[in-house]
Amino acid sequence: MKIILDAMGSDNYPVPDVAGAVQAAREWGDEIILVGRKEIVRNELAKHDAANLPITIVHAPEVIEMHEHSNAVKRKKNASIRVGMRMLKQGQVDAFVSAGNTTAVLASAIFDLKRIRGIRRPALGSIYPVANGPVFVLDNGATADCKPEYLLQFVQMGIAYVEHVWGISNPRVGLLANGEEPDKGSMLVRDTYTVLAESGINFCGNVEPKEITRNAADIVVTDGFTGNVMLKTTEAVASFLARYLKQELTGGTLNKIGLALMVPGILAMLPGLALMLPSLRRIAGRLDYAEYGGALLMGVDGVVIVGHGRSNSKAIKNAIGQARKAVQGDVMQAIRKRVAKEQK
Amino acid sequence: MKIILDAMGSDNYPVPDVAGAVQAAREWGDEIILVGRKEIVRNELAKHDAANLPITIVHAPEVIEMHEHSNAVKRKKNASIRVGMRMLKQGQVDAFVSAGNTTAVLASAIFDLKRIRGIRRPALGSIYPVANGPVFVLDNGATADCKPEYLLQFVQMGIAYVEHVWGISNPRVGLLANGEEPDKGSMLVRDTYTVLAESGINFCGNVEPKEITRNAADIVVTDGFTGNVMLKTTEAVASFLARYLKQELTGGTLNKIGLALMVPGILAMLPGLALMLPSLRRIAGRLDYAEYGGALLMGVDGVVIVGHGRSNSKAIKNAIGQARKAVQGDVMQAIRKRVAKEQK
């Protein structure tokens, strides 16, 4: 398998990007192509012990920065995002991974890769980070304004993914809403309810956020605006609570004295805490988006993974891991088949 | 001040409802009228030492249950919600508080109270529970499908509230979006951006959930569907994390041994923990919706507070407290003035 990685992607490119590629090549042995400014990427790669790893560099003289408007995509024909996308289109690689400007990756995917024939709009699909079991949520931000037909196609793409990558057949599909009854939600949600109920999928009706955290569906569909707000709210709440706990527990004189008084207790707890380490690690992992890597851009004609701008090397490695899974599960072919079937 | 409380409101009515009314009457001395089935309410009230408190009972023979469709409102003319709403309309009381079926409260408010002249749609406004400072978010679920003009009116109502109840003049207003740039978001968000930017309010542009938690605006406006999903996601994430921490830390053999080994340490920590209690209480309070009480239904012609179905007595008491503040700040008059000014 050959995966091309945008070396100029993350907020701190090329450091985490190149490091993540090295980790992925070492762990899985896949061929990784780094696309970006050759000098910069080569210098960064030289910092790693990567001489024996299957990593090569493809030069892309331009960079689309995080703050740039998506129209930079048209102007910068030789940006790393566009060079990578074209190589994917030409079949030179199996997947493209970028933690760069999401809007630019989306625009380039639609422009250079094109949509899969029959697909109306693309969707970003990813695992919801706060749930008892895996829940695949889409759209997380590709298509802000949706129609019921788009959401039905998102569901079909989600089923293709969950069946072929997670191995769950006939997955349960929920529609994100603010109440369980069919007449709850916006006009879009109510209309989509009818379309999904009649579509022959395993539809379990409207789901609220608390049901998502309880794994009440394998797939949850929503428009890209609501999905993005839900995901960003999830991140914001988790990070606020962590910040708040830390600040409350370590700020103020009473707390400082309290903490000092607790030192003997904390020391006495160490043997017990050591045994609990695996659990504590699991908790941290659960909240760490680096574990998930990124989102799959679905509906375009190739495997594209969009990583988080704040990605560290582990997140980049895991984004490459997600690309591998999508390629191994042949998700593209599964989506094409489902869409063709729908259109008959 | 006279406040009428739906005694048949919360999931566990009349227990928390009556207890909350007793607490409120004791703390603030306001006259509280309990509306509901007389026998039931009288028996519940008799369990409290309330003989000297200014609490009276008004009989309402019918109850609209949580699961009922909002059309029960038309059928059940003598439900507690409708009797309470009519007394508010007739000026016999200053505010109505209910932790009952939200859709029914909304329908009855529009039907019995009517909208304030000039107001296009109602909105539910409440404080966002996870932020460094108070942020007033609306709409939290009254109007799922919105237009830019509705959102502008929501903002005007929010300003009336924040100025008159919180005493913040010329408050900063943010528009909930999934990106800071003016071209981010759904069509509704982009169109609303233009309307708000030209409206003369103190508009600070698009805000994402993480900026809300950082108190980047005093008021955040969004449509009722997105606002409700955001609020429910916030609750779901906080409650998932609490559940998950507990389960991870107390489940499994290793953790059990670990906890046992930690007992001496925990005992040694007690004096320190005691000093930290105020902070720990603040943390718990921060996440406890009971601290906030409920949402103000804005745009209808009277002070209506909609409480959480899961309200305990403290939440009911605080919902009554919110009603008091809205009455004392004369929010209704402030809204009427703002709307009249807009329409000139």
Three-state secondary structure readout of chain A: CEEEEECCCCCCCCHHHHHHHHHHHHHHCCEEEEEECHHHHHHHHHCCCCCCCCEEEEECCECCCCCCCCCHHHHCCCEHHHHHHHHHHCCCCCEEEECCCHHHHHHHHHHHHCECCCCCCCEEEEECCCCCCCCEEECCCCCCCCCHHHHHHHHHHHHHHHHHHCCCCCCCEEEECCCCCCCCCCHHHHHHHHHHHCCCCCEEEEECHHHHHCCCCCEEECCHHHHHHHHHHHHHHHHHHHHHHHHHHHCCHHHHHHHHHHHHHHHHHHHHHHHHHHHHHHHHHHHCHHHCCEEEEECECCEEEEECCCCCHHHHHHHHHHHHHHHHCCHHHHHHHHHHHHHC
Q: A301 near A8, Cβ under 8 Å?
A: no
Q: How many CA atoms lie within 13 A of B19 on its CB side?
A: 12
Distance from CA of B329 to the nearest CA of A (A): 31
- Residue B262 to residue A273, Cβ atoms within 8 A: yes
pLDDT in tens, B150-208: 999 999 999 999 999 999 999 999 999 988 888 788 999 999 999 999 999 999 999 99
Yes or no, beta carbons of B213 and A236 under 8 Å apart: yes
Structure confidence at residue A288 as a pLDDT band (50, 70, 90)? low
Where does the pLDDT of residue A112 fall: very low under 50, low under 70, confident under 90, or very high at 90 and above?
Answer: very high
Q: Cβ(A157)–Cβ(A123) under 8 Å?
A: yes
Instruction: Please provide the distance, in angstroms rounded to a whole number, between the alpha carbons at the two ends of chain A.
Output: 33
Chain B residue with the nearest C-alpha to that of A102: B179
Q: Do B268 and A262 touch (CB under 8 A)?
A: yes
Q: Which of A233, A236, A248 has its CB closest to that of B282? A: A248
Q: Going by C-beta distance under 8 Å and a sequence separation of 6 or more, which residues neighbour residue A284?
A: none
Query: CB B244 to CB A283 under 8 A?
Result: yes
The residue with greater pLDDT, B62 or A309, is B62
Q: Is the pLDDT of residue A138 over 70?
A: yes
- Angstrom distance (rounded) from CA A274 to CA B258: 7
Residue B236: which of A209, A244, A259 has the nearest Cβ? A209
**Across the interface, do B187 and A230 touch by the CB < 8 Å criterion?**
no
- List CB contacts (< 8 A) between A265 and chain B: 265-270, 272
Query: Cβ of A340: how many Cβ atoms within 10 Å?
Result: 12
**pLDDT tens sequence across B95-126:** 999 999 999 999 999 999 999 999 999 999 99
Give the CA angle between residues A63, A69, A71 to the nearest 5°.
85
Average pLDDT over residues B226-249: 84
Chain B residues with beta carbon closer than 8 angstroms to that of A259: 272, 276
Q: What is the pLDDT of residue B155?
A: 98
What is the average pLDDT value for chain A, to the nearest integer? 91
Ranked by mean pLDDT, the top range of A293-297, B141-145, B259-263 is B141-145
Report whether pLDDT(A91) > 90.
yes
Residue whose pair of structure tokens reads 């900026």 in the numeric block: B211
A56 strand-pairing partners:
A33
Beta carbons of B241 and A287 less than 8 Å apart:
yes
The alpha-carbon gap from B149 to the nearest alpha carbon of chain A, in Å, equals 17
CB B299 within 8 A of CB B122: yes
Contact A114, A300 (CB under 8 A): yes
Closest-CA residue of A relative to B67 is A181
Partnered with residue B295 across adjacent β-strands are B306
Tokens of A326: 């999508």
Q: What is the pLDDT of residues A150-208, one digit of tens each?
A: 999 999 999 999 999 999 999 999 999 988 888 788 999 999 999 999 999 999 999 99
Contact A236 B209 (CB under 8 A): yes
Encode burial over B280-311: b for 16+ CB neighbours within 10 A, e otherwise: beebeebbbbbebbbbbbbbbbbbbbbbbeeb
Residues B278-289: what's their mean pLDDT? 64
Nearest CB neighbour to A229, from listed B145, B230, B245: B230
pLDDT digit string, tens, across residues A23-71: 999 999 999 999 999 999 999 999 999 999 999 999 999 999 998 988 8
Q: Which pair of structure tokens corresponds to residue A319?
A: 């984004």
Pick from B65, B42, B57: nearest CA to B87: B57
Q: What is the pLDDT of residue A73?
A: 93
Taking a C-beta distance cutoff of 8 angstroms, is the pair A173, A201 a contact? yes
Q: Nearest residue on chain B to A267, judged by CA atoms? A: B265
In whole angstroms, give the CA distance from residue B226 to residue A312.
30
pLDDT at B97: 98
Which residues in chain A have their CB less than 8 angstroms from residue B267's CB?
265
Tell me the CA end-to-end span of chain B in Å, nearest whole number. Answer: 33
pLDDT at A282: 66
**Chain A residue closest to B102 (CA)?**
A179
Cβ contact A222:A139 at 8 Å: yes
So what's the pLDDT on residue B78? Answer: 97
Helical ranges in chain B per DSSP H: 15-28, 38-46, 72-75, 80-89, 102-108, 148-161, 187-197, 209-213, 224-250, 253-287, 313-328, 331-343
Percentage with pLDDT > 90 across chain A: 74
For the stretch A252-281, pLDDT in tens is 777 777 777 777 777 776 777 677 667 666
Q: What is the pLDDT of residue B241?
A: 78
- Nearest residue of chain A to residue B259 (CA atoms): A272
Q: In angstroms, what CA-CA distances link A38 with A22, A44, A63, A219?
A: 16, 10, 12, 41
* Residue B261 pLDDT: 74
How far is B235 from A33, CA to CA, in rounded Å?
43
Q: Do A282 and B248 touch (CB under 8 A)?
A: yes
pLDDT-derived band at A339 (thresholds 50, 70, 90) equals confident
Residue A247 and residue B248 in contact, taking contact as beta carbons nearer than 8 Å:
no
* Residue among B186, B259, B267, B270 with most chain A CBs within 10 A, to mutate: B186
- Please name each of the domains of chain B with its CATH number: 1-119+294-331 (3.40.718.10)
Share of chain B above pLDDT 90, in %: 74
Size (chain B), residues: 344
ipTM of the assembly? 0.89
Q: How far is CA A241 from CA A63, A148, B58, B190, in A?
A: 36, 36, 43, 30
Find residue A5's DSSP bridge partners.
A34, A97
Interface test with A, best of B233, B248, B257, B263 (most A CBs within 10 A): B233
Share of chain B above pLDDT 70, in %: 90
Would you state the pLDDT for residue A243? 75
State residue B253's pLDDT score.
72
Average pLDDT of chain B to the nearest whole number: 91
Per the CB < 8 A criterion, the answer to whether A31 and A54 are in contact is: yes
* A219 pLDDT above the threshold of 70: yes
Beta-carbon separation of A254 and B279 below 8 A:
yes
Pairing of strands A173-176, A219-221: parallel
For A79-83, what is the mean pLDDT?
A: 97
Q: Which residue has the tokens 């290793």?
A: B254
Rounded CA separation B237/B232 (Å)? 9
Task: Pick the residue of B240, B249, B267, B306 with the most A CBs within 10 A to test the interface with A by mutation.
Answer: B240
Query: In whole angstroms, how far apart are CA B8 and each of A45, B57, B72, B109?
Result: 68, 12, 15, 17
Q: Which residue of A has its CA nearest to B271?
A: A261
Compute the average pLDDT of residues A207-214. Answer: 95
- How many Å apart are CA A179 and CA A160, to the nearest integer? 27
For residue B177, give the H/E element and its range.
none
Q: Which of B254, B284, B301 is nearest to B96 (CA)?
A: B301
Q: Is B147 exposed, middle or buried (0-12, 13-18, 19+ CB in 10 A)?
A: middle
The alpha-carbon radius of gyration of chain B (Å, integer) is 22
Mutate to test the interface with B, among A279, A283, A287, A308 (most CBs of B within 10 A): A279
Task: Return the residue in B229, B246, B259, B287 with the most chain A beta carbons within 10 A, the one to mutate for interface testing.
Answer: B229
The answer to whether the CB atoms of A241 and B245 lie below 8 A apart is no
- Side-chain half-sphere exposure of A271, counting CA atoms within 13 A: 8
Of A225, A262, A276, the CB nearest to B186: A225
Q: Which residue of B has its CA nearest to A186?
A: B144
Q: How many CB atoms lie within 10 A of CB B181?
A: 13
**Could you tell me if B180 and B205 are in contact, meaning their C-beta atoms sit under 8 angstroms apart?**
yes
Is the Cβ–Cβ distance between A179 and A233 less than 8 Å? no
- Report the pLDDT averaged over residues A98-114: 95
Contact B36, B13 (CB under 8 A): yes
pLDDT per position as a tens digit, B45-96: 999 999 999 999 999 999 999 989 888 999 999 999 999 999 999 999 999 9
